[in-house]
Amino acid sequence: MNKLTEQIDDYLRYSQIERGLSQNTIAAYQQDLQEFLTFVKAEQLPGWPLEAVEIDAFLAKERDLGKANSSISRLVSTLRRFYQWLVRQQLIALDPMSQIDAPKREKRMSLALTEAEVSRLLEQPDVNTDLGLRDRALLELLYATGMRVSEAISLQLGDVHADLRLIKVLGKGSKERLIPVSDLALEWVKKYLPVREKQLLKSGKNSDYLFLNSRGGQLTRQAVWQKIKKYCGQAGIDKDVTPHTLRHSFATHLLEHGADLRVVQEILGHTDISTTQIYTNLTQKHILDVYQKTHPRV
């Protein structure tokens, strides 16, 4: 089985170096392939399954563990790419994944928060504490810019151009973009900077990252997600909270207030405008709600 582990490692190196995939994607691939390897070991197979029925058995076992269709789809996608690589490396002759269909993904998107809910959420961190002040600055920046959580935790001090009211963001595919940012969000970031210096002095570390954890290291995506969920709970917000909650809310509120779809696309860093158009469904629902509540003859 050491040989199979080495093949996973080789594939992950290829994905990172040759394909330039992000650390989050590499981590997801690694998790999926480790689960697959665990199955191969448990079934005492001599190598990677070469029959579609064996791979189907693995997917069925994952479903039995309660995994959603979206998770199964990701597994299928990971295995499809991995097997294609195995064929190209001449480690196997035929690709059994060509006979495997991914389950239909549920078209599901987390609900955006209302403007009132966002206000309540942003007020939850205790700004009289160092970590609370950091969290307030982070949440204000996420909502002011619509950037991804992964982009926010990768921000460096030099990326914030307060004089121009712009922030440089390194997005998917290592594409840079400039995002406008509000004076209010910049003010909270400014208030946080002395706390950041204190964190570095206390930890004895040196870091260029804007947002730091209590040990002076880079914040993780999971930590930010947990914070957002915690503060949503404190604010009495009973909605499907995801790492993209504030990003969804940002885009929806801009469109509700008349922003051009192309402008929102540029700010969010979407290469395809159809990705941005999903937010128009939410704004159309908002328009209908307003109509039904305000028209005297409805």
Cβ contacts of 120 within 8 Å, gap of 6 or more: 235, 236, 237
Cβ contacts of 14 within 8 Å, gap of 6 or more: 85
- Number of Cβ within 10 Å of residue 70's Cβ equals 12
Q: Tell me the three state secondary structure of residue 170.
A: strand
Q: What share of the chain is helix, strand, coil (3-state, %, to 5)?
A: 60, 5, 35
Question: Distance (Å, rounded) from C-alpha 113 to C-alpha 108?
Answer: 16
Question: Distance (Å, rounded) from C-alpha 275 to C-alpha 149?
Answer: 18
* Residues labelled catalytic: 148, 172, 244, 247, 270, 279
